[in-house]
Chains A and B, each alone.
Chain A
Amino acid sequence: AQSVTQLDSHVSVSEGTPVLLRCNYSSSYSPSLFWYVQHPNKGLQLLLKYTSAATLVKGINGFEAEFKKSETSFHLTKPSAHMSDAAEYFCVVSDLASSASKIIFGSGTRLSIRP
């Protein structure tokens, strides 16, 4: 069965410091993994995705994530936080290629940026 766990419901960092949002997944197949961002009162926007190519995935706005199969993790990082990064972030595991056809969203991590 598929599942995704975002380990922190809220992360607060100072502007200019690194960001780490943690995500662990469970899948019986070879899933696709995504990070989406949702700014207040907005829809979701794709940040980046992993689809069995390079394990280090670069996304928009300076974010990147590393797929670690041994740790079943797909943590999102950014070297230096900006005020505009304040938003909710969702880790998603998707396996539409299998008969299970599952898309599972994590519960979200709210990122706050301190001036």
Chain B
Amino acid sequence: DADVTQTPRNRITKTGKRIMLECSQTKGHDRMYWYRQDPGLGLRLIYYSFDVKDINKGEISDGYSVSRQAQAKFSLSLESAIPNQTALYFCATSDSGRDRASQGTDTQYFGPGTRLTVL
């Protein structure tokens, strides 16, 4: 979905390097999420943000940090990458409906993914 973009799409790095994955959205949604996908494990939530001042840890936040620079931008950092962080990473957005004083939805819209390999 072109409304949610991720950069880079592919990255190969070495153990110990700092890596930042970026996510931008033009959907005007207030909520943003970072997931990693590993074969046989589905998607696991790393961090999520309900607005610019709200950051929450997900299921597997250790080794990761995030920054919500603006409503439209949510970046994920690996301070010191390790091989078991090799995975496919997805950003997603959803709309709480708060800005329109209406009930939002949990429906998430996903970016195309970033394939990260840590050697």
A45 B110 Cβ-Cβ under 8 A: yes
**B112 is contacted by which of A43, A46, A94, A101 (Cβ under 8 Å)?**
A43
Chain B interface, DSSP helix/strand/loop, else mixed: strand
> Beta-carbon contacts of A79-109 to B below 8 Å, as 1s and 0s?
0000000000010001010000101011110
Query: A90-B43, A107-B40, A108-B42 are known contacts. Are A46 and B107 too (CB-CB below 8 A)?
Result: yes
A34 B106 Cβ-Cβ under 8 A: yes
Chain B interface size, as a band, is 20 to 34
**In the assembly, what is the distance between CA of A96 and CA of B98, in Å?**
13
Chain A interface, DSSP helix/strand/loop, else mixed: strand
B110 A105 Cβ-Cβ under 8 A: no
Name the CB-closest residue of A to B59. A104
Residues of chain A with a CB closer than 8 A to B105's CB:
32, 49, 51
**In the assembly, what is the distance between CA of A33 and CA of B33, in Å?**
18
A105 B44 Cβ-Cβ under 8 A: yes
Shortest A48–chain B CB gap in Å is 10
Shortest B77–chain A CB gap in Å is 21
Name the CB-closest residue of A to B96. A96
**In the assembly, what is the distance between CA of A94 and CA of B108, in Å?**
10
**In the assembly, what is the distance between CA of A31 and CA of B85, in Å?**
30
Which residues of chain A have a CB within 8 Å of any CB of chain B?
A: 9, 32, 34, 36, 42-46, 49, 51, 90, 94, 96, 101, 103, 105-108
Which residues of chain B have a CB within 8 Å of any CB of chain A?
A: 1, 4, 33, 35, 40-45, 48, 56, 90, 92, 105-113
3 residue pairs, one from A and one from B, having the closest CB atoms: A105-B42, A43-B110, A94-B106
